Amino acid sequence: MAWRTLGTQLCELGESPFWQASDARLYWVDIAGRAALRADPATGATERWPLPDEPGCMAPARTAGQPSGWVLALRSGIYRARTWGGSLHRIARLPYDPRNQRANDGKCDPLGRFWVGTRDERPGGGGAAMYCIDARGNPARGNPARSGPAQVQPMWEGASTLNGLAWSPEPHTLYSADTPTHRIEARDWSAVDNRLGPARTLHQFPRKPALWKPGESGYGGYGGRPDGAAVDADGNYWCAMYEGGRVLQLSPSGELLQAIATPAVCPTMVCLGGAERRTLFVTTARHGRPDAELERTPLAGRVLVLEAPVAVPGLGVNAFEEAEWTGDSDV
């Protein structure tokens, strides 16, 4: 299948793409490049917003039901911004040591809570966790910790690098991946009281061969490991396969429906956007990749756009919902 690129920006570690229909733009972050970006596919015009530390993810935000900028998860906490490139206001801190852990993949659930998975950067570390940030004025059940204007509720822990967060259309199922385990998990989810059932395996991929080296023909038989994801209107799970050079579409039961090769070894996350939500956008990475690999794949670090529309549209992006503006008192 044919690919083109969006805009002119080269990212070190592109992630967290979402389509914002109100201005017909794609938004994403560059984690290692410490920036948020947005681009207009109609013109290719791209804007880069430098950030003080690494952003893991971002989402649109609404105050009392009205659009009011964005929410961003940085290494140093959860922030709100009213305007693009404007002042950042920290509304919550996540309960980890930012010297060895950072925010990673995340997005908002259909009720407006912001979920953020983390990455434990220590060798062999298993301290990553999933957090749910709620500013709707109606705290979730359990005993969420107050760390500012928003409530922070730990959802589960014991992972290394949490990715692949998505919800089924109903939405009764939450999906995620702990990337180093090569496993995508599914959990039953009760939206109103924010309760999760036990994790079950949606799909287990083979581990990386011990002697595998980047650039081997056919990636040495290695298909990569699951990174960022999205769900389409039929409930199929689309995921980027880091170091696998492909994007996969899995059925709601975990069966492989199709594999689409990408012109970058490390796709990082997918988004189904565009006017009909049938355009496949894919962020990619070049950070830390071998020079020889980057010479062979010069599109690494760019946002890829599949030329042909996909058959089933994606789901619209969910916004962070707050009862009132949370950015007045930084924490």
CB 187 within 8 A of CB 166: no
- Label residue 143 by pLDDT band (50, 70, 90): very low
Q: Let me know if residue 94 belongs to a domain.
A: yes
pLDDT at position 141 over 70: no
Instruction: Tell me the average pLDDT across 70-98.
Output: 97
CB 78 within 8 A of CB 94: yes
pLDDT at position 142 over 80: no
Q: Let me know if residue 132 belongs to a domain.
A: yes
pLDDT digits 0-9 by tens, 155-194: 999 999 999 999 999 999 999 999 999 999 999 999 999 9
How many helices and strands, by DSSP H and E, does the chain display?
1, 27
Instruction: Tell me the average pLDDT across 133-144.
Output: 66
pLDDT at position 291 over 80: yes
Q: How many residues does the chain have?
A: 331
pLDDT at position 117 over 50: yes
- Label residue 148 by pLDDT band (50, 70, 90): low
DSSP 144: P
| pLDDT > 70 fraction of the chain, expressed in percent and rounded | 95
Which SS3 state, helix, strand or coil, does residue 218 take?
Answer: helix
For residue 235, CA distances in Å to 16, 53, 167, 173, 250 come to 20, 35, 9, 10, 9
For residue 185, CA distances in Å to 56, 121, 131, 165 come to 20, 21, 16, 10
pLDDT at position 139 over 90: no
Q: Let me know if residue 327 belongs to a domain.
A: no
**How far apart, in whole angstroms, are the C-alpha atoms of residue 195 and residue 319?**
20
pLDDT digits 0-9 by tens, 217-227: 555 578 999 99
Domain with 80, as residue range(s), is 3-322
For residue 116, CA distances in Å to 119, 131, 196, 209 come to 10, 5, 15, 30
Amino acid occupying residue 109:
D
Q: Let me know if residue 239 belongs to a domain.
A: yes
Q: Let me know if residue 64 belongs to a domain.
A: yes
How is residue 213 written in tokens?
Answer: 């080296």
Task: Determine the pLDDT at residue 52.
Answer: 98
- Label residue 213 by pLDDT band (50, 70, 90): confident
Structural domain total, the chain: 1
Of 232, 233, 224, residue with least CA distance to 203: 224
Is 227 among the residues known to form the active site?
A: yes
Q: What kind and span of H or E run contains 295?
A: helix 291-296
Sign of CA dihedral 153, 157, 161, 166: negative
- Label residue 215 by pLDDT band (50, 70, 90): low
pLDDT at position 252 over 80: yes
Beta-bridge partners for 238: 230, 249
Q: Let me know if residue 328 belongs to a domain.
A: no
Give the predicted TM-score (pTM) of the model: 0.95
The catalytically annotated residue of 53, 227, 232, 328 is: 227
Q: Let me know if residue 331 belongs to a domain.
A: no
**How far apart, in whole angstroms, are the C-alpha atoms of residue 257 and residue 238?**
10
Q: Let me know if residue 329 belongs to a domain.
A: no
- Read off the CATH number of the domain in which 27 is found: 2.120.10.30
**How far apart, in whole angstroms, are the C-alpha atoms of residue 250 and residue 37?**
29
Sign of CA dihedral 78, 79, 80, 83: negative
